[in-house]
């Protein structure tokens, strides 16, 4: 069998890497990835998505492409965020297995073969778990709370939802839509579609150059995490069945309001006066009204979701090198 046929029989690995001002790391990262996958029985492509870098990142990626045609690139017109970068990469990826990793050298390329081994155990997606994180204290604590809460809310037993290092079967990435800040919830999105999600401990390096693109101390991240938890509630509970979500709260409030008012009615009938209970009366009526409003909000959302059109692409590509 000649070389070309051999290549065609090989499965392909796509490595997707979002890049936002990572000039210093790119060459080293690229060399280490190629070294790490050399010898694996895969054809490969590395797709860099330059998420609107203001530094020299895209030039370096272009240089890398000149040297090796398996390196491909997408350049965004501005910074659209990591989710958009991943979405563009997912769309472009032609591999049977797809790996995502960060471009700051914090993810260890040598773990790629372990991820491939793990997904071979029968998973549709395997998420890295940065067991020993090399990050700031605030980042560590907020991430612990985040992971615990998301796990409790979704029932998915993962320790590290937000790890950038993941591997997917092709079908998974072609079937999930990442936009907004959803990249933190990729395991949730996959799980929702019925895919089997696993976890693998991976080595985490310290950031060698610059600081986190989400802020040095991790405060911004802590706030984001908090908002994201509301988001996960929205994704898992609300968007599926808004009427059940709002309706349940609305009904409970109305029910308590109803009990209060019923109690006051009985009091009025038997004692003749509820003068001293006026605040309670107001509270009861308020609960009934709020409850009724929540129920109608649920109904309205249900109608909106049924009529909602598919989301627009959340990014704009300036240039592609393929």
Nearer to ligand UDP, 212 or 293 (CB): 212
Q: How far is the CB of 26 from Mg ion (least distance, A)?
A: 14
Nearer to ligand UDP, 191 or 213 (CB): 213
- Rg for the chain, CA atoms, rounded: 25
Structure tokens at 90: 């997912």
Which of 142, 152, 110 shows the shortest CA–CA distance to 128? 110
Do 202 and 130 touch, CB atoms closer than 8 A?
yes
Number of H helices, E strands in the chain: 11, 8
Nearer to Mg ion, 57 or 236 (CB): 57
Q: 255 is in the binding site of which of Mg ion, ligand UDP, none (Cβ under 5 to 8 A by kind)?
A: none
Does residue 178 belong to the site contacting ligand UDP (CB under 6 A)? no
Phi, psi of 287 (to 5 degrees): -60, -40
Nearer to Mg ion, 52 or 298 (CB): 52
259-318 binders of ligand UDP (CB under 6 A): none
Task: Return the number of other C-beta atoms located less than 10 Å from residue 230's C-beta.
Answer: 10
Does residue 19 belong to the site contacting ligand UDP (CB under 6 A)? yes
Nearer to ligand UDP, 19 or 172 (CB): 19
User: Taking each helix axis from N to C terminus, what angle separates 219-233 and 137-154, rounded to the nearest 10 degrees?
Assistant: 0
Q: How far is the CB of 213 from ligand UDP (least distance, A)?
A: 3
State the burial class of residue 305 (Cβ atoms within 10 Å of its Cβ: 0-12, 13-18, 19+): middle
Using alpha carbons only, what angle is made at residue 187 by residues 303 and 205, rounded to the nearest 5 degrees? Answer: 140
82-141 binders of Mg ion (CB under 5 A): 102, 104, 106
Residue 43 pairs with which residues in a beta bridge? 12
Nearer to Mg ion, 14 or 106 (CB): 106
String of contacts with ligand UDP for each residue 212-251, x by CB under 6 A = xxx-------------------------------------
String of contacts with ligand UDP for each residue 87-106, x by CB under 6 A = ---------------xxx-x
From 45, 60, 81, 147, residue interacting with ligand UDP (rule: CB under 6 A): 81
Calculated CA dihedral for residues 179, 182, 186, 188, nearest 10 degrees = -120
Which of 190, 164, 191, 180 shows the shortest CA–CA distance to 107? 164
Q: How far is the CB of 81 from ligand UDP (least distance, A)?
A: 5
29-58 binders of ligand UDP (CB under 6 A): 51
155-174 binders of ligand UDP (CB under 6 A): 164
105-124 binders of ligand UDP (CB under 6 A): 106
Helix segments in 126-277, DSSP class H = 137-154, 170-175, 186-192, 219-233, 242-271
Only one of the segments 90-98, 173-181, 206-214, 307-315 lies at the binding site for ligand UDP (rule: CB under 6 A); that segment is: 206-214
93 secondary structure, DSSP code: -
Can you give the binding site for ligand UDP, defined by CB under 6 A?
Answer: 18-20, 22, 51, 79, 81-82, 85, 102-104, 106, 164, 212-214
């Amino acid at each position: 069998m000649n070389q070309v046929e051999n290549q065609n029989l090989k499965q392909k690995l796509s490595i997707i890497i979002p890049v936002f001002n990572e000039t210093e790391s790119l060459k080293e990262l690229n060399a280490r990835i190629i070294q790490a996958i050399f010898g694996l029985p895969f054809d490969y492509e590395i797709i860099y998505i330059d998420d609107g870098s203001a530094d020299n990142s895209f030039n370096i990626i272009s240089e890398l492409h000149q040297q090796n045609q398996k390196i491909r690139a997408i350049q965004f017109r501005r910074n659209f965020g990591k989710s958009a970068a991943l979405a563009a990469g997912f769309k472009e990826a032609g591999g049977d297995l797809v790996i995502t990793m960060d471009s700051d050298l914090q993810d260890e390329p040598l773990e790629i073969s372990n991820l491939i081994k793990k997904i071979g155990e029968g998973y549709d997606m395997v998420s890295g778990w940065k067991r020993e994180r090399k990050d700031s204290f605030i980042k560590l604590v907020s991430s612990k709370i985040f992971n615990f809460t998301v796990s409790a809310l979704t029932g998915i037993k993962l320790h590290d939802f937000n790890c950038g290092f993941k591997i997917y079967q092709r079908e998974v990435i072609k079937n999930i839509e990442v936009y907004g800040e959803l990249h933190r919830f990729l395991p949730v999105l996959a799980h929702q579609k019925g895919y089997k999600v696993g976890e693998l401990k991976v080595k985490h390096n310290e950031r060698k150059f610059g600081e986190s693109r989400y802020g040095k101390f991790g405060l911004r991240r802590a706030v984001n995490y908090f908002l994201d938890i509301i988001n996960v509630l929205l994704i898992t509970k609300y968007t599926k069945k808004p009427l059940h979500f709002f309706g349940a709260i609305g009904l409970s409030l109305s029910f308590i309001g109803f009990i209060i008012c019923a109690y006051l009615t009985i009091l009025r009938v038997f004692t003749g006066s509820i003068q001293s209970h006026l605040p309670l009366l107001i509270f009861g009526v308020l609960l009934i009204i709020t409850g009724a409003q929540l129920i109608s909000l649920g109904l309205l959302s249900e109608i909106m979701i049924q009529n909602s059109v598919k989301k627009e692409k959340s990014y704009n590509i300036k240039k592609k090198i393929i």
